[in-house]
Chain A
Amino acid sequence: MITTETAPIIPSFGEEDSGRKLAIICSKGNLDMAYPGLILANAALGEGVETHLFFTFWGFDMINKKTMDDLKFTMLGNTATHLPQGLGGLPGMTSMATHQMKKSIEEIGVPEVPEFLQQIVDSGGHLWACRMSADMQHLEAEDLYDEVEAIISASDFIEKTDGAQLLFI
């Protein structure tokens, strides 16, 4: 007698080692532009993707111990606030806009930049600092967030992320 059995429906969690890699270049130091890279890195790590972040130019503010806690959001030059541009130039507007944005981010349970970087590292992510940016700003490894693995050249980063998908933010 032949019996047929239907295979159980089980979700696919992908191959054990898919080899997928993601490289994210963070080049902005504004609060609102720090988050896209962090959120995507975190999401990629949660999907088992090897993830590398390279901080360069203004993106250095995200890993500079002096500035990482104090990134700002400005309405100036950002038409997406849908408010008159002149307002953005008034005294105190940038700190008010920053405060407002930080509050909205906190309300949905998303951490501030330093804690977010720690979460990314704890999830297996790699943080790299750009050599040229460090030289321009006269910064050394000890000035940077402790979890940054090294200050490396752009070509070293390209070499490390061979075969990776790349995002420039």
Chain B
Amino acid sequence: MPTTTIDSHDIHVDDEGFMTQYDEWTQDLGTALAAQIGVEMSPEHWKAIHFLRSDFPEHGETPTLRRVATVGGIPTKQLFMLFPKKPAKKMAYIAGLPKPRGCV
């Protein structure tokens, strides 16, 4: 498993760069990860990321976009505005989680 350094944080990642250790994540690191992919975090962004972080241990997998919208209560349209083009993968990356595996 490769390791990489983001903004002086050493982290374990998969081949693509998604974090593999849930506990290595901190909010500061989340900000740094977001900056790497051109996302500037606002309270709305954090609401989504915190939902991903709390849902993952409960559910055992990264929530899909639909789950963030229906269970997390953040409308789909807003998620596309906050994390343009590929919201599900971008959120997973910033939250330090694997890519969602669900189809819908």
Give chain A's interface residues, CB within 8 Å of chain B.
6, 8-14, 16, 39, 42-43, 46-48, 108-111, 116, 119, 122-124
Contact = CB atoms under 8 A, between A and B. Distances in A.
B89 A13 contact: yes
Interface string B2-41: 1011100000010111100000000000000000110000
24 contacts: A8-B4, A8-B5, A9-B2, A9-B13, A9-B16, A9-B17, A10-B17, A10-B36, A11-B18, A11-B89, A12-B16, A13-B90, A16-B85, A39-B103, A46-B86, A48-B84, A48-B85, A109-B104, A110-B103, A119-B69, A119-B76, A122-B76, A123-B65, A124-B80
Size bracket of the B interface: 20 to 34
Given A109-B67, A123-B80, 16 more contacts: A6-B4, A8-B5, A9-B17, A10-B36, A10-B37, A11-B18, A11-B93, A13-B86, A13-B90, A14-B86, A43-B104, A46-B65, A48-B84, A108-B104, A122-B77, A122-B80
B1 to A, nearest CB: 11
A42 B70 CA distance: 15
Contacts of A10: 6, 17, 36-37
Q: Which 8 A-B pairs have the closest CB atoms?
A: A48-B85, A122-B76, A9-B17, A9-B4, A11-B17, A11-B16, A122-B77, A8-B4
Interface in B37-90: 37, 64-67, 69-70, 75-77, 80, 84-90
A47 B88 CA distance: 9
Given A46-B88, A109-B66, A123 B76 contact: yes
A48 B90 CA distance: 11
Contact of B66 (A8, A13, A119): A119
B104 A8 contact: no
Contacts of A124: 80
Contacts of B13: 9
